[in-house]
Amino acid sequence: MSTSKIFYSEHLGFRGRQDHYNAYVEDFAIFQTADGRKVVQIEENPTNTRQSGFRNKSRSSPQQMWSTDGGERDPVPLFEQWLARRPEQMKNSGPLYLAIIPRPTTNVWYAKSRMSEHRIGQK
């Protein structure tokens, strides 16, 4: 499982590849708390596998990823870097998972097309 999928599964409660596939950049917000720590929060779309199915948009508690020590495995800076590697017109919108450019020659590592659900499910 990729690092990003692990972070989203552990911190945000993504349970399967469908949760990852259905995620959009617009569903995420990055903000800073009063003590200066950064937080990534998701306002997820409803699914039919959660209690109340498509009627209830959110869970009872906000799903958040908190910044830790600023190290190389800190989830918030990794998320910000991941967004920074997207095509310019897709940094703030579009599917969360984009197809990978095999040998990028610029700072853009992802194509403008969505990663397939099958590919997301692979390690």
pTM: 0.70
Look at residue 116 in the predicted model and tell me its pLDDT. Answer: 79
Tens-digit pLDDT profile for residues 71-102: 788 888 888 998 999 999 998 889 988 999 99
For residues 40-62, average pLDDT:
57
Give the other-Cβ count within 10 Å of 65's Cβ.
22
Q: How many domains is the chain built from?
A: 1
Q: Which domain holds residue 49?
A: 3-121
Q: Which stretches of 1-123 are assigned E, i.e. beta strand?
A: 28-32, 38-42, 63-66, 98-100, 110-114
